[in-house]
Structure 1
């Protein structure tokens, strides 16, 4: 049975598109079939755009590519997806607020998988100068996605 995963961050141009591509890569390398991954924004500011050039560059440096176009989360996502991941506490509280009662999706913080408690927040690198924050987010996503795969998808 296909498992559907949705990565969420505030604007869907930094962390969630990185997490989406990383999860697709981790799943493919593990040869796990029937997993669909997407990403979306909580806010509508960047809908229709591509990811931040720094996010795209970071992925490219690791041999990965994103063709994702920003979209905003919608009510039906909470029933279409099995897992919806937020990147920080604000994302999580907004996801809990938006989730319709009785919806199917399990709401999880990505950093709760495989990362030490003090590093579990995947910080938004958008307002930082340069690409360092994007690389940190990428590395956190790799660890968290691999841990999630081992804990939840490879049973």
Structure 2
């Protein structure tokens, strides 16, 4: 059975599509066969490509995000995925607010997989403009998650 993992942030144009692209590339290099997707808790950018500066930074690191399109997280994702990963505590709270009664799908904070980084969330580069810093943390957390699979 293929494990299904969903990365979630606020708008699905910076952090979660980057996590999807980075994690997909690194997990394939590790020989893992996974289903990977991303979503946003808000619906402002549904159907849009990842944010241009985020795409540019990711491409410089060897990750092509150009084929990804934003979608909104919904309660059906709890049944569609085995693991749902939020980028920050607010994302986790928004995700949990849609959890169907009795659902047991694991929801985790992405930085839980990068304890050495000492971060309690992945900062949103849409606001911080630190695309490199976000990618560094996303890579580290991706490698940490891969190590658990």
Output the TM-score relative to the length of structure 1: 0.90
Whole-angstrom distance in 1 between the partners of 2:54 and 2:117: 24
Partner of residue 63, structure 2: 64
- Any stretches of 5+ residues in structure 2 without a counterpart? none
Whole-angstrom distance in 1 between the partners of 2:97 and 2:137: 26
1:82 and 1:104 in contact (8 A); partners too: no
Whole-angstrom distance in 2 between the partners of 1:28 and 1:59: 17
Task: Please provide the CA RMSD for this pair.
Answer: 1.3
Shift of 1:117: 6.7
- Any stretches of 5+ residues in structure 1 without a counterpart? none
2:117 and 2:137 in contact (8 A); partners too: no
1:7 aligns with 2:18: no
Please identify runs of 4+ aligned residues in structure 1 that moved more than 4 A: none
Partner of residue 79, structure 2: 79
Output the TM-score relative to the length of structure 2: 0.94
Whole-angstrom distance in 2 between the partners of 1:149 and 1:48: 28
Number of matched pairs: 148
Shift of 1:128: 3.0
Alignment of 1:47-58 (within 5 A): 47-58=46-57
